[in-house]
Amino acid sequence: MKTFICGAAALALLATAAVAETAAPAAGVFIKSQTADEYLAKDHFIGAKVKGPDGKIIGDIEDLIITDGNTVVGIVMGTGGFLGMAEKKIGVQLSALKFEEAAGELSVTLAEATKEALDAAPAYERAQPKKSLWNRAKEKALELKDKTAATTNDAVEKAKPALEEAKQKAAEAYEKVKEAATPAYEKAKEAVQGAVDAAKPADTPAPAAPEAPATPAPATP
């Protein structure tokens, strides 16, 4: 008995370990939260204003330039409307920018950003064309399709127990109604049959055939 209990306990521990191993996420894959020395590009980088040496805004960061090794080497800065300049996108080396943060606000400075230097700077050229509206719409449609399919499948799976329970209850209710209605139906059937029988006219006896007239006896001479 003791051996059996120990064996059962060991199996339970193994099963628990297997479940835990299956449920636990793989190490080194997911990031739970942001640390104090990390920042999100969309919060502090993309859209940040870039200032010149005199502290005036000369542009804003519109995108990051990243190598195939996932290293940020520069930014794409839009200069439209600043310093009276026309819209132009300029690529800037990350090392040329000075980043400072105070009171949760990021300050980006480009010391070499005089109006003359910005006018002379070449417009940033893309090696690959920008995604067209058609490609973006197609990607969005695929995303919505996947989300809808996942949501629908999840809803169906969650609804299955309720559907089965409803089907079972409906079948039970039908049987109860059928069982309760059967005697009433039979009584009604008998009553109708009795009424039909009562309405039938009584059998009238067939009229008797008329008697043949008597034949007079012949006269005796």
Q: DSSP 3-state assignment of 30?
A: coil
Residue-by-residue pLDDT tens, the chain, 221 positions = 444 344 444 445 545 554 445 566 677 888 899 898 887 888 878 998 999 888 888 889 999 999 999 999 999 999 876 666 678 899 999 999 998 887 777 889 999 888 888 888 899 998 877 766 676 677 678 777 777 776 776 777 777 788 788 888 888 887 887 777 777 777 777 777 777 777 766 555 555 555 655 555 555 55
The helix/strand count (H/E) of the chain reads as 4, 6
Backbone phi and psi for residue 106, each to the nearest 5 degrees, phi listed first = -90, 130
pLDDT of residue 8: 43
Domain locations along the chain: 41-130, 131-194
* Measured distance CA(77)–CA(104) in Å, rounded: 22
Contacts of 110 (CB under 8 A, 6+ apart): 50, 51, 52, 58, 77, 92, 96, 97, 98
pTM of model > 0.75: no
pLDDT of residue 211: 60
pLDDT of residue 6: 45
Q: DSSP 3-state assignment of 51?
A: strand
**The 72-78 sheet, strands edge to edge:** 89-93, 72-78, 57-66, 49-51, 105-110, 97-102
User: Distance between terminal CA atoms of the chain?
Assistant: 136
* Measured distance CA(58)–CA(114) in Å, rounded: 9
Number of Cα atoms under 13 Å in the Cβ half of residue 159: 8
Q: DSSP 3-state assignment of 78?
A: strand
Amino acid at 119: D
pLDDT of residue 212: 55
Asked whether 118 and 79 are in contact (CB, 8 A), the reply is yes
Fold of the CATH domain 41-130 = SH3 type barrels. (2.30.30)
Q: Show the DSSP H helices in the chain as ranges.
A: 2-23, 41-44, 115-120, 133-199
Amino acid at 48: A
219 burial class (0-12, 13-18, 19+ CB within 10 angstroms)?
A: exposed
Task: Enter the tokens of residue 218.
Answer: 């012949």
